[in-house]
Amino acid sequence: MKFTKDEIRAAMLLYAVTERSGLKNGMTLPEAVRAALENGVTFLQVREKELDGEAFFQEAEELRAICAEYRVPFIVNDSVEIALKSGADGVHVGQDDIMGRDIRAMIGPDRILGITAKTVEQALAAEKAGADYLGVGAVFGSSTKKEAKRITPELFRKITDAVSIPVVAIGGISKDNMEELRGLGADGAAVVSAIFSAEDPGRAAAALRKTAEDVFGK
């Protein structure tokens, strides 16, 4: 599917990043993803650090099909190859991934390109490189990336002021601390454990969606 710039901005509201290690009660990742989408998740990124290429590809295909049912953008973390092969709507890459590579040229003009940015300089460079949105964090630290440095509210605001593309906040975000992001210029919140480590991912997603609508004014 092709998404407009306005659709991409709106989809930042409640952005879920998969994390299979925290799943409870024997739930599979596709089951958790479906429950999350049914209850208000607006964007999905599949992130797999352990699966081999073929297993990752098969999972990406399955999740892409589920997201298509709900018309929710589906992107792959890091792997341009898997994103293209699975028919994903795009790819999200970090600063290390864009060194010496033109990711926009690799994925074409119609797929979504997300890039992580931690400074104003990185944000401006990512926008120039063709990013459709920025992932900025860690705003509250991170349980999935222990080495992630926390970004202050002041720096976050400087980043959102510097660019014209959407910005999604990420890093340790939960229903209880999302309010602290109000007024920083973010278009939404990206969550990992708050959904995929919850006892009931669907119920967690519904509560997060309600809070996100209030905090981000959508």
Q: What is the pLDDT of residues 176-201, one digit of tens each?
A: 999 999 999 999 999 999 999 999 99
Of the chain, the end-to-end C-alpha distance in Å amounts to: 23
Higher pLDDT, 179 or 148: 179
CATH classification at residue 72 = 3.20.20.70
Per-residue pLDDT for 147 more than 70?
no
How confident is residue 88, by pLDDT bands cut at 50, 70 and 90?
Answer: very high
So what's the pLDDT on residue 143? 65
Which of 19, 6, 2, 38 has its CA nearest to residue 143?
19
* Total tally of structural domains belonging to the chain: 1
- What CA–CA distance (Å, rounded) separates 46 from 164? 25
Phi, psi of 217 (to 5 degrees): 70, 40
- In DSSP terms, 189 is beta-bridged to 14, 169
So what's the pLDDT on residue 49? 86
Mean local confidence (pLDDT), 19-42? 97
3-state secondary structure of 128: helix
Question: Residue 146: which domain range?
Answer: 5-216
How confident is residue 42, by pLDDT bands cut at 50, 70 and 90?
Answer: very high
Mean pLDDT of the chain: 95
Per-residue pLDDT for 3 more than 70?
yes
How confident is residue 166, by pLDDT bands cut at 50, 70 and 90?
Answer: very high
So what's the pLDDT on residue 146? 59
